[in-house]
Structure 1
Amino acid sequence: MLTVTMIWLTGIVLGAFQIPSLWKRRMLKDLTAFAVLLLAGMILSTLLALFIPFPKPLDMVNFLIGRK
């Protein structure tokens, strides 16, 4: 549980440093990309830390394009 807490605290600290400067400079596309990637990374890191299985990215791509 400490690992999950550290993952989320790190994400919050990174967001606290980056989001205000992006918002002040009105870089809304960059802010959106940063927020989406940060959240995705934090969720995937949490899943790994909790040993929850999830599909590999290549398996998801193959599923979407219809390959087996």
Structure 2
Amino acid sequence: MKCKQTDSIYTSSMQIGINTDTIQIDALIVKLERAVELQKQLSKAVRAVEESITMLSHRDSFIR
């Protein structure tokens, strides 16, 4: 922080540097989007397996 006196008024200034490199954040967003897509696919696969199991159990109950 810099301070200087002009006449009887003190002024101060401060410089703040901000890192605008968003490569890491962008990479994280891509990974999260991929994870969401994989979760959707997994949920569909689990539902399909559950439906198959249900159909097989109904079929077995008719056969007995």
Q: Under a length normalisation based on structure 1, what TM-score does the superposition of the two structures give?
A: 0.36
By relative contact order (CA 8 Å, sep 6+), the higher-ranking structure is: 1
